Amino acid sequence: MHKLAINTLLVVAMLMGVAASVYAQDAEHESTLFKTVPVNRPTFSALADFATYFDNKEYASIDNSLSETLFGARITPKISLDWSSTPEGGDYGFRSHSLVFGADMFQDFGHDSKFLSDIKVQMYYNFMTPSVDIYAGIFPRSKMYGLRSTLFFDHDYRYYNNRIQGLLLRYGGEEWGSYVEFAMDYDGKRSFEKREKFMIMSSGRWVRPIPHVGLTFGYDFLMGHYAKDYNPETVDGVVDNLMFTPVVRYDHTFRWGGEGLPLTIGAEARYILSLQRDRLMENTWQAPVGGELMVELEFWYILLRNRLYLGKNLFTYYDRYGSALYHGSPLYATPKGIYNTIEIGCNSHFRNFVDLEVGVTIDYDGRGWGTRQYIALNIALWPIDFRK
């Protein structure tokens, strides 16, 4: 399997290189239904992402989460064919197009695999304008701006399931501060052994511009669909899981002495509404709700954060389906109506392509205490243009 993946990567690289050279010689315009659009010569480039992840949980007193240690690395080499176009008159602005092929190569430290623990493909098309961003295919989960809370995806899930298989549409952008996006992730094709599974997601943010203050309003939405397999002996049904969370965030940055080191105070409040149903068992809707308040203080590279959740058990069927249905932190399945996390960490960013996060959390689920220690190193290598 690994030799086939590597050979496929090499073959696609050669094909895309040939296509780039031919297209650069022969194609100078992009035909549309209404007009001919000038097209810049395409470039063929290589890029790579690297991540090392250490996560040690000591949760002996917490029932819904296991004590375990995860330590591994992931490298994602990619090749990309990129071209751009600008409509005559500039009425619709600059457009860029990319075809990307790559592979996520995982190695869990201590794993007894001869080559790699796992390998997964990435292949997608990206269309981008100043206000529109579209991804289609299998692309990094990080391309989606929203659903960053561990309510939706835990740290472990984001590392090992770092791809969206489907579609992402977004209007707006980070430079605007405001956006709305829609995505579908079809991550479980129905088979004899595997149940069908997909997620529909949406997120939006609107930033109110105030000098030195960030006030953001928005929402996150997830609909999870967990269905049947083809095995007639399996007793399974369809499970629905919907979560909608209005969000308000406040940030204020101070500088000591006017031009000194920045001190940032942030707060984020969420109201969490949920609808869940197991059609085979109860076949009635469950509607747990709750509220969450996060307060953080960041000075230089040091971060101090507290996250408090009060409300019902948001993962109603966690004892029945576990992480196959719920991809967020199991601590939201608290039976006592409270979940609190205190986090002390250090976040460093070097030269815009290296991110290092180190920290410790103290967690409480209403019945017991636990701790978590983590180290996450992420490196994004800039594209290398083979035409230069």
For residue 30, list its beta bridge partners.
37
- The mean pLDDT of the chain is 86
The phi and psi torsions of 123 (rounded to 5 degrees) equal -155, 125
Q: Are strands 289-299 and 29-31 parallel, antiparallel or unpaired?
A: unpaired
Q: What is the pLDDT of residue 71?
A: 97
Q: What is the pLDDT of residue 70?
A: 95
Question: At which residue do the structure tokens 């076949």 appear?
Answer: 283
Which amino acid is located at 270 in the chain? Answer: R
Give counts: helices (H), strands (E), the chain.
3, 18
Q: What is the pLDDT of residue 113?
A: 76
92-to-132, 172, 178 alpha-carbon distances in Å: 11, 14, 20
- b/e sequence 27-53, b meaning 16+ C-beta within 10 Å: eeebeeeeeeeebeebbbbebbbbbbb
Q: What is the pLDDT of residue 368?
A: 92
Whole-number Å distance between alpha carbons of 76 and 94? 28
For residue 146, list its beta bridge partners.
none
DSSP 219-284: EEEEEEEE---S-TT-----EEEEEEEEEEEEEEEEETTTTS-EEEEEEEEEEEEEEEEETTTT-S
Q: What is the pLDDT of residue 201?
A: 98
Residue 187 exposure: Cα atoms within 13 Å on the Cβ side: 22
Whole-number Å distance between alpha carbons of 145 and 143? 6
- Structure token digits, residue 7: 């050979």
Q: What is the pLDDT of residue 22?
A: 41
Q: Do residues 373 and 345 touch, judged by C-beta distance below 8 A?
A: no
Whole-number Å distance between alpha carbons of 377 and 133? 27
90-to-32, 74, 203, 257 alpha-carbon distances in Å: 15, 41, 30, 46
Q: Do residues 272 and 253 touch, judged by C-beta distance below 8 A?
A: no
Q: What is the pLDDT of residue 39?
A: 60
CA 180 to centroid of chain Cα atoms:
16
Residue 353 exposure: Cα atoms within 13 Å on the Cβ side: 9
- Structure token digits, residue 61: 């007193």
Whole-number Å distance between alpha carbons of 388 and 385? 6
- b/e sequence 86-97, b meaning 16+ C-beta within 10 Å: bbeeeeeeebeb
Nearest to 360 by CA among 51, 55, 52: 55
Q: What is the pLDDT of residue 2?
A: 53
Q: Do residues 181 and 145 touch, judged by C-beta distance below 8 A?
A: yes
Nearest to 16 by CA among 102, 79, 97, 96: 79
DSSP 8-state secondary structure symbol assigned to residue 190: -
3-state secondary structure (DSSP) of residue 85: strand
DSSP 8-state secondary structure symbol assigned to residue 39: B
Nearest to 13 by CA among 82, 101, 138, 98: 101
Q: What is the pLDDT of residue 24?
A: 46
Which residues lie below 8 Å from residue 233, measured CB to CB, with a gap of 6+?
none
- Which regions of the chain are under pLDDT 50? 4, 11, 15, 18-36, 91, 386-388
Whole-number Å distance between alpha carbons of 346 and 359? 6
Q: What is the pLDDT of residue 19?
A: 47
Q: Do residues 119 and 75 touch, judged by C-beta distance below 8 A?
A: no
